[in-house]
Amino acid sequence: MTSIVTSLAVPSTYRDQQYQGSSNQFRDDLSTTATLYVGNLSFYTTEEQIYELFSKCGEIKRIIMGLDRNNKTPCGFCFVEYYHRADALDCMKYINGTKLDERIIRCDLDPGFKEGRQFGRGRSGGQVRDEYRTEFDAGRGGWGHRMRLTLEREREQKLKATYEPIKDIPQGADEYKSRQQDIASRKRDRDDDVDGERNKRTKEQNPRFREHDDDDDEE
């Protein structure tokens, strides 16, 4: 029986480029899977929050948080695996496109989680989509990786242009430098004189020094 309403429980046209298998195998896996890929998460969304939301559609077998490959911190996606496929389809109907942590999340049927897929595939360690993001997104680490590199490069160029090293010595700088050296030299001489006078008074006032001096005279 045909329907004029498009089903919400169908996978997107996206295919994992690192999937090991043929197109037919990919379609077969999607037709039996109970695993969901969840994207556009905030870096600060916890596993507990995900469990609380997605458990409304059925009993969850496990949640695998997506991690930055270098820092091992959340990087904006996860996998939710149900015990039953019907629960995953319900999740596609009722949770896909809803808000979690003030972000519209995306849910898609996934052929199944395999070890290693929890790590971001971008050059910086996170997701590839964050490599090219040009807008500031506080929930996903601020600027995208390439945008951040561009801003840092512009900042370095601005600093270099603003604080360029002085090539010409200002007039009077040598005279000021020699005057400071003379002041420092006179201060050292004055300190040496004060120390010598203090040591002399100490010997005169301290009887122990006088006793040693007498012993030296007797010898």
| Count of CB atoms situated within 10 Å of the CB of 11 | 19
Instruction: For residue 55, give both structure tokens.
Output: 């458990």
CATH code, domain with 114: 3.30.70.330
User: 126 lies in a domain?
Assistant: yes
d(CA 161, CA 174): 26
Residue 95 has pLDDT above 70, yes or no: yes
Instruction: For residue 219, give both structure tokens.
Output: 């010898």
pLDDT for 15 = 86
Task: Please give the residue that has the higher pLDDT: either 207 or 11.
Answer: 11
d(CA 78, CA 48): 12
Residue showing tokens 């911190």: 73
User: 64 lies in a domain?
Assistant: yes
pLDDT for 2 = 61
pLDDT for 211 = 56
User: 43 lies in a domain?
Assistant: yes
Residue 125 has pLDDT above 80, yes or no: yes
When the pLDDT of each residue in the chain is averaged and rounded to a whole number, the result is 84
What total number of domains does the chain contain?
Answer: 1
User: 141 lies in a domain?
Assistant: yes
pLDDT band at 113 (very low <50, low <70, confident <90, very high): very high
Give the pTM: 0.66
User: 207 lies in a domain?
Assistant: no
d(CA 179, CA 173): 10
User: 161 lies in a domain?
Assistant: no
User: 168 lies in a domain?
Assistant: no
Range of the domain at 117: 23-148
pLDDT for 204 = 64
User: 88 lies in a domain?
Assistant: yes
pLDDT for 160 = 76
pLDDT for 213 = 52
Angle ∠(22,15,127) on CA atoms, nearest 5: 135
Task: Please give the residue that has the higher pLDDT: either 162 or 24.
Answer: 24
